[in-house]
Amino acid sequence: MPRRSLSQRAPANDSEETMHHRTTVIGTGAMGQALAIALLDAGHPVTVWNRTRERADPLVARGAVLAADVVDAVSASELVLVSVLDSAAVRDVLDSAGDAVRDRTIVNLVTGTPGEARSVADWAVEHGADHLDGAMMAVPSMIGSPGATILYGGAVDAYHRHEPTLRTVASDSPFLGVDAGLPALYDVGLLTMLYATMTGWLQAFAVVGAGGVTAEEFLPHARAWFDNVVVAEDTAEVATSVDRREYPDTVPSSVALNAAALRLLLQVHEESGVGSGLVAAISALADQRVAEGHGADGFTSLVEAIRTPARN
């Protein structure tokens, strides 16, 4: 069945020009508010809907139109951004919208698993909508400001059609691929890095703290170490090594050498009485590689122990 044109979708009281830019934001929590404000500030007409109606009042005061229900909200704009709590809430919203999503572009900005994102995409396509998934790698205060990133996947034509509007809320809005699960997968990867790195800092503060050094005293040395050594490591070389499953002992040095250093760290942590779980986990990965006969490989070969955990 041929798709209707944009002008056929426009409400009678909206010009085609306005319809082109009108955007609906469903869910006006912290993120939804930030998205709607960025769009309004950029001059886009915005329609909003929120389960708890009063929570949308500040946006109405700024010029947004409050939709009476989800069907009205989806009907108001070709581009519909969904920013509710989780994937179960997305399904509640979309079930309420039903066939009103036909010929709309539904952008699911909710944090979820890759599987949940694909399931929302399947639902949208079955109901005649284009679908994009977006992973918001930002906090609300960053939305609409330089530095905000939202990663997209799904319907490539819809992405290109709406790219200027999407870049209003996040100037860095790359398209990862047609698999709607990709943004959530990248989100998992990036958050894994964030939590592991942040916890590394906290672990270091705790162990030096147990020795009487404050975090503020330690910070300048930690910062220089982090900038000059930790992130100075050639990450392109690490990525190539991981993809090729080849682990030269120069990237960055051998497992055996680092396994010995990790045992030392573990000893000091245990002697000082601070929690040693993080260091013990890394030490166990290195010991596993040594036990499997890979002590002479580069440290990046620990990825093999992560890919195939030891069973004991």
Widest CA span of the chain, in angstroms?
A: 75
Least distance (Å) from ligand NAP to the CB of residue 115? 15
173 binds ligand NAP (CB under 6 A): no
Residue 140 CA neighbour count, 13 Å, CB half = 11
Under DSSP, is residue 102 helix (H, G, I), strand (E, B) or coil?
Answer: coil
Dihedral, CA of residue 269, residue 270, residue 275 and residue 276, to nearest 10: 70
- Separation of alpha carbons 3 and 173, rounded Å: 26
93 binds ligand NAP (CB under 6 A): yes
* Contact call for residues 48 and 73 (beta carbons, < 8 A): yes
Nearer Cβ to ligand NAP, position 89 or 274?
89
Among 4, 7, 16, 30, binds ligand NAP (CB under 6 A): 30
86 binds ligand NAP (CB under 6 A): yes
Exposure string over 148-186, b if 16+ CB within 10 A, otherwise e: bebbbbbbeebbebbeebbebbbeebebbeebbbbbbbb
Least distance (Å) from ligand NAP to the CB of residue 26? 8
Least distance (Å) from ligand NAP to the CB of residue 29? 2
Among 24, 47, 75, 83, binds ligand NAP (CB under 6 A): 83
Nearer Cβ to ligand NAP, position 84 or 208?
84
Helix axes 215-225, 182-210, angle to 10 degrees: 130
Among 37, 65, 73, 84, binds ligand NAP (CB under 6 A): 84
Task: Quickly count helices (H) and strands (E) in the chain.
Answer: 14, 8
23 binds ligand NAP (CB under 6 A): no
57 binds ligand NAP (CB under 6 A): no
Least distance (Å) from ligand NAP to the CB of residue 140? 5
Where does this chain touch ligand NAP (CB under 6 A) — which range of 3-11, 21-29, 72-80, 201-209?
A: 21-29
Residues counted in the chain:
312
Q: 52 exposed, middle or buried (CB, 10 Å; 0-12, 13-18, 19+)?
A: exposed
Among 29, 209, 248, 252, binds ligand NAP (CB under 6 A): 29
Contact string 178-207 vs ligand NAP (x = CB under 6 A) = ------------------------------
Among 9, 55, 127, 161, binds ligand NAP (CB under 6 A): 55
Number of residue whose CB is nearest ligand NAP: 29
Where does this chain touch ligand NAP (CB under 6 A) — which range of 28-36, 60-68, 165-173, 299-307?
A: 28-36
Q: What is the DSSP string of 235-253?
A: HHHHHHHHHHT---TTSSS
Q: Which among 129, 25, 14, 124 is positioned nearest to 80, based on CA atoms? A: 25
64 binds ligand NAP (CB under 6 A): no
Least distance (Å) from ligand NAP to the CB of residue 190? 11
136 binds ligand NAP (CB under 6 A): yes
Under DSSP, is residue 3 helix (H, G, I), strand (E, B) or coil?
Answer: coil
89 binds ligand NAP (CB under 6 A): yes
Q: Tell me which residues touch ligand NAP (CB under 6 A).
A: 27-32, 50-52, 55, 83-86, 89, 92-93, 110-111, 136, 139-140
